[in-house]
Amino acid sequence: MSLNILSWNVRGIMSSTLCLANLLESTNCDIAIISEHKLKPNLLPYMNSIDMRYRSISKTDKLNDLCNCTHGKGGISILYKASLQFSIEEITETNSDRIVGIELENKSFGSIFIFGVYLPADGSIDNYRQELNALDDLYTYYINYGKVVVAGDFNASCINKNLQFTNTTKSKELQNFVHRHYICHPFTDTCKTLLKGPEFTFTLKNTMLDYILIDETLVRQLRRYEILEEGTFSSTSDHLPVIACIELDENPHIDLNNFSKLPAWHKINKHSTKEYQDKLCAPLDILIQEAQNNDIDINLFYHNLVDTLINTAKETIPCNMYNPHTKPYWNADVKKAHTKERSMRRVWMQDGRPRGMQHESYFNYKRAKRDFRNIQKLANEHNIEETYDDINNAAECDIRLFWKRSKRHKPKHSKVCQQIKHNNIVHTSPDSICNAFANYFEDLYTPADTSTFDDPTLNEMNKAYREIERVCKADKDLYLPGGLISCDDVSSVTKQLKRAALPRVDAERRSPLNISSD
């Protein structure tokens, strides 16, 4: 199964409708990201009429409703084939009018999140940085749930040679976003060999502004990346379309998500090993000779090599059915205890299912069942401890790994970006949330430099002390261990306290207070 993705800035869909319809037909694309359609909000359903095979999800600038112009400004749309073998759902938590997203879900390989973007073209760096930060938060969140593709008009360039012809600040912001998430574009080393056509999309300045940015885990499945040349299609836009073809059949998790047979390498014997080696020699020799003579692409060679290894293993190696319902804690000891419990139950059933500990079959069955449950409980607790240890280690060593492991325990359908507020700043990304917690606990356990408590706490303490002093002075015969305590005594002892001797302060009250060791 392949997925063809098209990205094109049409510069007004009303003048480019026929061109886009012909392009969708000739390229047979499955997903089309259309930027700058210039439609008003009430005209967005027009995108569904371009080609009846496609459905659309569109956004436009809401400020256009206040204008008296005949058309809108900007706008971003995603067209997808209604016949795709996916469960397709719109991503509504984009928090931007310039970003639109969909989720493609399939049981065989999971989810692919595709975001269409049209970043600001004006000279405001703040506006551009704000939209790019929103895209950054979305990418950081959804990469934990599947594979991510971002496509559209970025109005900046990832290529160093184009910096002098674009806004340098915007281009550097975009480059930082790409490098920070290890996203691949057509001019990276892994994709450059697949690039066909010109090395630009904006024809007026010969710069690369339109991209299909691919998650690094999808690069091996990229089969085609092409920029259509001028003259090869009818166009009314000064931008060139970009096409990427992603092969989904070689996804390494396909076999793990269905009930196909998997090689049981633990059951292999010498005969199977010899037969596997003999049947593998000839196909590998042919594959290597073909690669040397024809100089084929490395990704295609890798694809053919994996297929050869898998097909040969299916013919010669014993197979097992993958069971997706196996418990993660199920080990050899649990299996042995379970087998014994089933055996004792069969003996008890053959004995007529007698009740009471005086019957040997019933006694043996109940004891085996109790042993099995105890072993199962210990194995489950051990598995949970290992999982928590992995999460703790990930939290200390790798923030991204920590969030990936943590979010596995959350419902997959929950796609609301979590956030916390610290010092009147809202943090949404995992990195910023972790940094906010770090700053909070640093402030929590750092002694302050001021010499007094805050006023409410100081007044409360003075009031309590005056009450104690009043009671002691009113009753001269009152017995106090150690004698009567005066203000001078308290002041003398307080000044001798070390920082390490400060009493523990409740975390909820400590953050707004400034406590000193003086």
* Burial environment of residue 304 by CB neighbours within 10 A (0 to 12, 13 to 18, 19 or more): middle
- In this prediction, residue 102 has a pLDDT band, given cuts at 50, 70 and 90, of very high
User: Distance between CA 24 and CA 53 in Å, rounded?
Assistant: 10
* pLDDT score for 365: 93
- Report the pLDDT averaged over residues 222-250: 83
Q: Please report, rounded to a whole number, the percentage of residues in the chain having pLDDT higher than 70.
A: 77
* pLDDT score for 70: 66
* pLDDT score for 511: 39
Higher pLDDT, 263 or 68: 263
Residue ranges with strand state E in 177-228: 195-196, 210-214, 222-227
Q: How much is the mean pLDDT over the chain?
A: 79
* pLDDT score for 517: 36
Choice among 272-281, 351-360, 436-445 with the minimum mean pLDDT: 436-445
Task: Give every CB contact of residue 514 below 8 A, 6+ residues apart in sequence.
Answer: 448, 449, 450, 452, 453, 454
Q: What are phi and psi of 259, to 5 degrees?
A: -105, 30
Query: What's the pTM value of the predicted model, to 2 decimals?
Result: 0.50
What the block records as the tokens of 326 is 């196996």
Q: What are phi and psi of 466, to 5 degrees?
A: -65, -35
* pLDDT score for 67: 56
Report the SS3 class of residue 383. Answer: helix
* pLDDT score for 367: 93
**Which span out of 161-165, 340-344, 424-428, 475-479 was modeled with the highest average pLDDT?**
340-344
* pLDDT score for 450: 60
Distances (CA, A) of 90 to 22, 56, 112: 26, 10, 12
